[in-house]
Every structure is written in C-alpha cells, then in structure tokens.
C-alpha cells in the first residue's frame, strides 16, 4: 500500500502579493508548498524589468497589514512597514474662481489612523524572501499554468527557458543587441490543493470553469489609466509636494492622483474616459498640456515639465480597468482562487490587494476551524472531505464580501473625482467625524474608516453605513424642517421672525449631539421602531 503523506502538497499559482502570502500561510502550517510563477524572479537584477501592467505603488491598509501580521513570519511585517510612507489625508488640489491654486487636506480618519504608500515590487520581494527561507517551499519561476484536471489533481505547466543569443549570430534581429529565445517544455505535477492567485486573467479560474458551475461577470469601465512621475525637487532632492498625503486633482469625469515613493518621487496616475485619451493622443504636442492646465491645475509645468509629461504620456501604457465577480471560488477539495483571480476590482478604494491578502487570512482561518491541519495521521479521504467543507464555507462567506467591496470601489470613483469637493459631502464627513470623536461609545464610523482601518466584513460595512445614512438624513432633514416650512401667519404686533439659513441650521447641529446620540442608539432597531422614532422626532420638531 502506498504510504500516505502527512503533509498536503499545495501548489500556488502566481507569486504576486496574494500568491506569495498564501504560500507563507500554507508553509507555516507544514504543507509541502510549490509556487509556480509565469514570470522570472523579480529579485534577480539580470532579469529584464517587468512590463508592469499594474501600478508601481499602492496603498496598504489595515486588512492587508492584519493578514501579513497573521502570517506569523518573524519580522516580515516590520520589514514591510519600514519601507512604507504614511499617508494621513487626501490633499485636494484645485483652482479657485479668482484663478488662485489651492490645496485642502482632508484627514482619512477622525482618530488619526492612516494608510501606507508601499512599492509593489519591494512588498513582493519581502514576501518572496520570507518564502525562500522556508525548507518546505519551492519556488518555480518561468512556469506558466497551461492546464489542470481538478478531479485527477494534476496540473500542467509550461516551463520557459530563456536562452540569450548574440546578435552577431542572429543578424535578422537588427533592432536589438540581444535576442531572447524562448524554449518551452511541459511538465505535469500532482497536488492535494491548488491555490490560484494568478491575477485578473487567471488561468486557474479558466480551468476551474470547466469543473465548477461558475457564475462569472466581468466589466471594463469606461476609464483608462496611465502613469506619470513627479521627480524630487532638483535643488535639494526633497519631495516636490507633501509626502504624507495622497494627492488628488479631482476633475469631474477625470482624476489625477499622486502617491509618494521612498526615493522622494511621486507615482501619479491619470484616470480618464477612453474618449479623452484618444482625443489627446491625436495630437499630444498641442493638446496634452492644455488638457492638464484645464483639468489638473498646478501639475504641469510646476510638478512635471512639459517635455516629461509628453514623454511619459507617449511611452507609458494606457491601460483599461476591469471589474470581475465570480462564484464559487472552489471546486470540491482540490482548488480555490484568491485575490484578483476571484474578484478583480477597480482601484478607487485602494482595496484590491488588501482584499486579496485578507482572502488568505480568511481562507486559512476557515481551514483551521475545520481541522484540516489537526490530524497527525490523516486518512486522505477524510482530509479531502474536511477540506471540501472548509472551501464550501470559504466561498459562502467570502463571495458576498468580495461583491460588496467591488461595488464600493466603483462608487468611490465618484467620491474621489468629484464628491470630495461638494459641500454636502464635507458636511456629512464633518458630522460623522464629530459623532465618532465625541460619542465613541456609539460605534459610529465613516465608510472609509470601516473599509480601510478595520477588519469588519465588507458586506457588513455597506449595511452599517446605510443605517447610519438613514439616521443622518432623518436628523438633518428634520432639523432643516424649520427652513423648508412655509411661514406661519403672525399677529400684526408680533416681532419679525428670525430668518435661519441652512448654513446656520447646520452649525446648530453641533449642539444637538444628544439628539444624534439618541438616533444612533437606535441603529440596531427594526425598521418599524426606526419609523416610530422618526415620526416622534418629527412631532418634536413641529412643536
């Protein structure tokens, strides 16, 4: 009888941030882990730089940090955090009607919490370094998943060997000194579990579709993005703008953002509908600078010279944004997809990678809960059964959360590119932060705080924020009733009634925290009770 292995053989497809973290979690539980990555090792200096189709730096926040912390990998989290830059607030840039440029800082969190700017490659390198130290992990670079049979638990990879050929021996290649010649060989590998973390265009997901009844929805939004760089000040190599902010130039249907990097530059991203890109691309020499002047005042030539702007627009790719939802994430006990492979989202909440890292923590919490790692002498059939039950639970728990953050990310585009300048947005932010600070026991937090600084399931964030919204509308609406109500006829000698503007009413709200408190304490009440409360409040106001 064949000897039963005590350890599970886990293949991780994709060594991006999510795949690398998943491999760490599995390895720390004793699995025999093999990571297969399509590209070459990004830590190898001789490797041709990656043709990045994803942005260079990212916002790392609580969910990602918490998941790295839970990997229990020595100093890994500290090493990663050392290489980040805190971003305490958004800095909104614009031009006043009188033509003057302005900047307005909007803190991310009433309690001072912040997000971290991190370089994608250095985060990925740290994770790979941590993996390489573990004896039960093997990294296979230049391996592309090409096929999988999830019943037979066998996967096929194309192994790419790069052989460099001297130009002299290959004169047909007259546009390059070196010619990369790819030779491929196919290998087959057996496994107990495959974790597919191979990004938005996942091959694992593609093969999973042939086995599971997988619902799949993908949408390209009408926005392209292109990266630019703001160099450090030439005079003293300092940051050209405040480094502890995520800078935003909102522009209605467009947006330009800048995130700080450790080398004191900023990586910037232009987001705009495809029609704007094509219009500017028709004649960038004439149109690009005008486009920036009009929509993103203070960027060119103040922060990026005209020639650099032109060059970067010409040379950097103009890329689409995809949003993907699918379900289930697994098939039986043999495969599960995580990260962008399961739920690629638009980047406007800065949550794509954070959500993917959180997938890893949630998955392994569930595997642990089901006792997948409990038995020292496993019965393979029982182990498969337990793993399948755990993966079932993972899909049931995680799909609503991933769907919720996909939707919130789309909604946040509107907030970033235009709402941040609206007075109504600012009033709501102010009110919510006032309640958060002065009445902490109520548990009132903004949506941004719940998403970026906490680990509450995304699907619950939406519900809680909707409830808060209803309360706020009730309280503010009723408080404004005095303004909306028609004047009541007065006796001839009565003093002239005081006119109250909406602005004054809003200011008065500062003194009505007790009322808001009463309202908020009803957050958990039923719709009926809530309606009764609102009607009571209405009567109070009318009196």
Binding site for ligand FAD (CB under 6 A): 13-19, 36-39, 54-55, 58-59, 144-145, 197-199, 203, 225, 269, 339-340, 347, 350-354, 356
Which of 115, 475 has the CB closer to ligand FAD?
A: 115
Q: How far is the CB of 399 from ligand FAD (least distance, A)?
A: 16
Which of 39, 287 has the CB closer to ligand FAD?
A: 39
Closest CA to 335 of 401, 405, 394: 394
Closest CA to 59 of 29, 90, 37: 90
Name the token pair of 184.
């491929």
Q: How far is the CB of 199 from ligand FAD (least distance, A)?
A: 3
Cα distance from N-terminal residue to C-terminal residue, the chain:
86
Residues for the chain: how many in total? 543
Listed in order, strand segments (DSSP E) in 150-286 are 154-166, 178-190, 193-196, 215-230, 245-251, 254-260, 266-272
Q: How far is the CB of 38 from ligand FAD (least distance, A)?
A: 3
Which of 124, 295 has the CB closer to ligand FAD?
A: 124
Which of 272, 435 has the CB closer to ligand FAD?
A: 272
d(CA 105, CA 77): 29
Residues whose CB is less than 8 angstroms from the CB of residue 31 and which lie 6 or more positions away in sequence, other chains included = 7, 8, 9, 10, 136
- Give strand pairing partners of 272: 224
Name the token pair of 499.
């006119």
d(CA 178, CA 170): 9
User: What are the counts of helices (DSSP H) followed by strands (DSSP E) for the chain?
Assistant: 18, 19
The bridge status of strand 32-36 relative to strand 137-140 is parallel
Closest CA to 385 of 364, 371, 365: 371
Q: How far is the CB of 96 from ligand FAD (least distance, A)?
A: 29
Q: How far is the CB of 515 from ligand FAD (least distance, A)?
A: 38
Which of 140, 426 has the CB closer to ligand FAD?
A: 140
Beta carbons of 55 and 269 less than 8 angstroms apart: yes
Which of 208, 476 has the CB closer to ligand FAD?
A: 208
Q: How far is the CB of 289 from ligand FAD (least distance, A)?
A: 23
Q: How far is the CB of 522 from ligand FAD (least distance, A)?
A: 35
Question: What is the distance of C-alpha 154 from the center of its chain?
Answer: 32
At 148 the three-state DSSP class reads strand
Q: How far is the CB of 177 from ligand FAD (least distance, A)?
A: 26
Q: How far is the CB of 45 from ligand FAD (least distance, A)?
A: 18
d(CA 49, CA 120): 13
Name the token pair of 463.
């519900």
Q: How far is the CB of 144 from ligand FAD (least distance, A)?
A: 4
Q: How far is the CB of 127 from ligand FAD (least distance, A)?
A: 10
List the 266-272 sheet strands across, edge first: 101-107, 89-95, 245-251, 254-260, 266-272, 215-230, 319-327
Residues whose CB is less than 8 angstroms from the CB of residue 495 and which lie 6 or more positions away in sequence, other chains included = none
User: In this structure, what is the dihedral angle of CA atoms 133, 138, 142, 148, given to the nearest 10 degrees?
Assistant: -140
d(CA 208, CA 542): 61
Which of 92, 353 has the CB closer to ligand FAD?
A: 353
Q: Maximum distance among all alpha carbons in the chain?
A: 106
Q: How far is the CB of 117 from ligand FAD (least distance, A)?
A: 8
d(CA 241, CA 267): 12
Which of 159, 397 has the CB closer to ligand FAD?
A: 159
Which of 340, 384 has the CB closer to ligand FAD?
A: 340
Which of 36, 331 has the CB closer to ligand FAD?
A: 36
Which of 115, 516 has the CB closer to ligand FAD?
A: 115
Name the token pair of 382.
């029982």
Which of 102, 220 has the CB closer to ligand FAD?
A: 220
Q: How far is the CB of 75 from ligand FAD (least distance, A)?
A: 22
Closest CA to 240 of 228, 255, 252: 228
**Computed over its alpha carbons, how large is the radius of gyration of the chain?**
27
Which of 320, 380 has the CB closer to ligand FAD?
A: 320
């Amino acid at each position: 009888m064949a000897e039963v292995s005590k350890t599970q053989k886990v293949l991780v497809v994709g060594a991006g941030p999510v795949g690398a973290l998943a491999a760490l979690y599995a390895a720390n539980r004793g699995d025999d882990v093999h990571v297969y990555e399509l590209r070459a090792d990004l830590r190898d200096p001789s490797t041709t730089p990656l043709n990045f189709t994803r942005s260079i730096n990212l916002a790392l926040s609580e969910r990602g940090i918490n998941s790295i912390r839970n990997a229990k990998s020595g100093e890994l989290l500290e090493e990663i955090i050392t290489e980040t830059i805190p971003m305490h607030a958004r800095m909104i840039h614009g031009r006043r009607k009188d033509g003057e440029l302005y900047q307005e800082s909007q803190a991310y969190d009433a309690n001072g919490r912040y997000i971290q700017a991190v370089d994608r490659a250095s985060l990925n390198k740290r994770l790979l370094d941590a993996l390489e130290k573990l004896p039960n992990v093997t990294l296979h670079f230049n391996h592309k998943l090409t096929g999988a049979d999830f019943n037979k638990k066998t996967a096929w990879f194309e192994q790419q060997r790069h052989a460099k050929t001297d130009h002299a021996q290959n004169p047909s290649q007259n546009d390059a000194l070196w010619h990369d010649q790819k030779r491929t060989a196919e290998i087959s590998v057996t496994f107990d579990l495959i974790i597919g973390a191979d990004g938005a265009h996942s091959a694992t997901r593609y093969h999973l579709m042939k086995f599971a009844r997988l619902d799949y929805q993908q949408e390209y939004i009408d926005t392209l993005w292109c990266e630019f760089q703001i160099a450090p000040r030439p005079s003293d190599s300092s940051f050209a703008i405040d480094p502890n902010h995520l800078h935003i130039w909102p522009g209605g249907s467009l947006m330009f953002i800048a995130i700080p990097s450790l080398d004191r530059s900023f990586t910037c991203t232009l987001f705009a509908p495809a029609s704007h890109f094509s219009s500017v691309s028709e004649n960038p020499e004439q149109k690009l600078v005008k486009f920036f002047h009009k929509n993103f005042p203070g960027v060119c030539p103040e922060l990026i010279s005209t020639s650099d702007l032109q060059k970067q627009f010409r040379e950097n790719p103009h890329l689409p944004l995809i949003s993907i939802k699918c379900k289930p994430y697994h098939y039986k006990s043999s495969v599960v997809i995580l990260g962008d492979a399961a739920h690629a989202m638009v980047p406007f909440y800065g949550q794509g990678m954070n959500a993917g890292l959180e997938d890893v923590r949630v998955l392994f919490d569930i595997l642990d809960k089901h006792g997948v790692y409990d038995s020292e002498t496993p019965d393979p059939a029982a182990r498969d059964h337990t793993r399948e039950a755990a993966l079932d639970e993972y899909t049931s728990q995680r799909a609503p959360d991933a769907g919720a953050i996909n939707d919130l990310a789309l909604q946040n585009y509107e907030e970033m590119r235009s709402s941040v300048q609206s007075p109504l947005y600012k009033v709501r932010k102010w009110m919510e932060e006032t309640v958060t600070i002065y009445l902490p026991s109520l548990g009132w937090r903004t949506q941004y705080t719940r998403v970026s600084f906490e680990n509450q399931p995304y699907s619950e964030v939406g519900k809680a924020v909707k409830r808060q919204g209803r309360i706020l509308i009730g309280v503010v609406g009723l408080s404004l009733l005095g303004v909306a109500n028609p004047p009541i006829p007065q006796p001839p000698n009565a003093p002239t009634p005081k006119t109250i503007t909406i602005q004054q009413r809003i200011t008065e709200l500062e003194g009505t925290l007790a009322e808001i408190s009463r309202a908020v304490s009803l957050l958990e009440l039923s719709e009926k009770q809530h309606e009764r409360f609102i009607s009571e409040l209405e009567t109070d106001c009318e009196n």
